[in-house]
């Protein structure tokens, strides 16, 4: 019995010690920056990734929640605009001319990805009050011409399809059986949605970016990024003790294309 337990522990340690190599569908190459020919006041929101946290329920069960990470913006230098900070612009009252339905759709588009952790970001643009069981959203009168919302989803790692899920399971079993000599393979889906709104919250453009990625794990594999080398506890994938969220680098890879596309779009705005 002691031998079996020691053997299992050894196998687990060896597998966890495997290096990980992330293969991204997007390129990180930087093209020629778009030169803006028009100037507007543009507010960015979102474009952040998430951290997984464990919640223990009163009945002893465990749930995992994704918390929005405000310091993980994948767009570091938003073209033609900025990410407002709380209290940066003193609002001139409330936009009473806006259809409440438009405000509601704007809020829903954001929160359906971020969950309740996105409220803090929205408070830069909205006044939020509660009436009974319902929330009331009022848009602040701010000096912006356009709003650009960036959403990375799904929040948690999600296998690309059922077929690849079987590949992951069997490759992981073979990898364990060979003590990390044969590689394991995981394939995840990841997307970025960018919605551009005018000052009246009319959506004028929606862009979708495919950030699907794969992960190879083995003792001999060359790590990418370097932080995912042998012994790294940050890149355990399906062997992590928590439900993993998609890493920031997956979405950062498309940031240059997003900025270029937004630059081209901004030059067509009126």
**Predicted confidence (pLDDT) per residue in 122-131, tens digit:** 999 999 887 7
Please tell me which residue, 16 or 42, carries the higher pLDDT value.
Answer: 42
Q: Is residue 137 part of a domain?
A: yes
Please tell me which residue, 132 or 210, carries the higher pLDDT value.
Answer: 210
Q: Is residue 54 part of a domain?
A: yes
| pLDDT confidence bin for 8, thresholds 50/70/90 | very low
Tokens of 254: 């498309």
User: For position 233, what pLDDT does the model report?
Assistant: 60
Mean pLDDT over 114-123 rounds to: 90
User: For position 267, what pLDDT does the model report?
Assistant: 94
pLDDT tens string 212-259: 998 888 887 777 777 777 666 666 655 555 567 888 889 998 999 999
Please tell me which residue, 152 or 236, carries the higher pLDDT value.
Answer: 152
User: For position 43, what pLDDT does the model report?
Assistant: 96
Q: Is residue 117 part of a domain?
A: yes
In terms of phi and psi (left: phi > 0; alpha: psi -120 to 50; beta: otherwise), the region of 60 is left
**Entry pTM:** 0.84
User: For position 30, what pLDDT does the model report?
Assistant: 57
Mean pLDDT over 163-168 rounds to: 74
Q: Is residue 3 part of a domain?
A: no
Q: Is residue 5 part of a domain?
A: no
Name the range with the highest mean pLDDT among 38-52, 120-134, 192-206: 192-206
Mean pLDDT over 38-45 rounds to: 94
User: For position 17, what pLDDT does the model report?
Assistant: 59
| pLDDT confidence bin for 264, thresholds 50/70/90 | very high
Mean pLDDT over 101-108 rounds to: 94
User: For position 129, what pLDDT does the model report?
Assistant: 84
What does the DSSP assignment read for the chain? Answer: -HHHHHHHHHHHHHHHT-EEEEEESS-----PPPPP-S---EEEEE---EEEEEEE-TTS-EEEEEEE-TT--S-SS-TTEE-PPTTSS---SB-TTS-HHHHHHHHHHHHHHHGGGGHHHHTTTEEEEEETTEEEEEEB--S-SEEEEEEEE-SB--BS-HHHHHHHHHHHHHHHHTTTSSPEEEEE--EEEEEEEETT--EEEEEEEE--EEEEEESSSPPBSGGGSTT-SS--GGGSSSPPBPPHHHHHTTHHHHHHHHHHHHTT--
* Domain interval for residue 35: 16-266
Percentage of the residues of the chain whose pLDDT score is greater than 70: 83
Weakest-pLDDT range from 74-78, 132-136, 154-158: 132-136
Q: Is residue 11 part of a domain?
A: no
Q: Is residue 7 part of a domain?
A: no
Overall domain count for the chain: 1
Name the range with the highest mean pLDDT among 12-16, 123-127, 178-182: 123-127
pLDDT tens string 42-84: 999 999 998 877 777 777 676 777 788 877 899 999 999 999 9
Q: Is residue 6 part of a domain?
A: no
């Amino acid at each position: 019995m002691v031998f079996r337990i020691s053997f299992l522990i050894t196998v687990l340690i060896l597998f966890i010690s495997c290096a990980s190599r992330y293969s991204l569908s997007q390129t990180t190459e930087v093209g020629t920056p778009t030169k803006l020919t028009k100037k507007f006041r543009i507010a960015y929101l979102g474009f952040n990734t998430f951290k997984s946290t464990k919640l223990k329920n009163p009945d002893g069960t465990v749930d995992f929640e994704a918390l929005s990470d405000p310091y993980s913006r994948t767009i570091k230098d938003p073209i033609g605009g900025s990410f407002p900070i709380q209290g940066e612009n003193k609002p001139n009252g409330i936009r009473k001319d806006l259809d409440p339905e438009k405000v509601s759709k704007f809020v829903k588009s954001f929160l359906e990805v971020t969950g309740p952790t996105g409220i803090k970001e929205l408070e830069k643009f909205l006044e939020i009050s509660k009436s009974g069981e319902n929330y009331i959203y009022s848009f602040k009168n701010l000096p912006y011409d356009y709003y650009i919302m960036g959403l990375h989803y799904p929040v948690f790692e999600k296998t690309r399809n059922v077929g690849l899920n079987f590949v992951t399971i069997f490759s992981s079993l073979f990898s364990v059986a060979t003590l990390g000599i044969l590689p394991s393979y995981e394939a995840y889906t990841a997307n970025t949605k960018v919605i551009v709104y005018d000052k009246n919250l009319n959506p004028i453009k929606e862009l979708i970016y495919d950030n699907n990625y794969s992960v190879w794990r083995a003792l001999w594999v060359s790590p990418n990024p370097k932080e995912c080398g042998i012994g790294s506890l940050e890149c355990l994938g399906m062997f992590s003790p928590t439900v993993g969220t998609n890493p920031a680098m997956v979405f950062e890879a498309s940031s240059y294309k997003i900025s270029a596309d937004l630059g081209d779009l901004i030059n067509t705005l009126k």
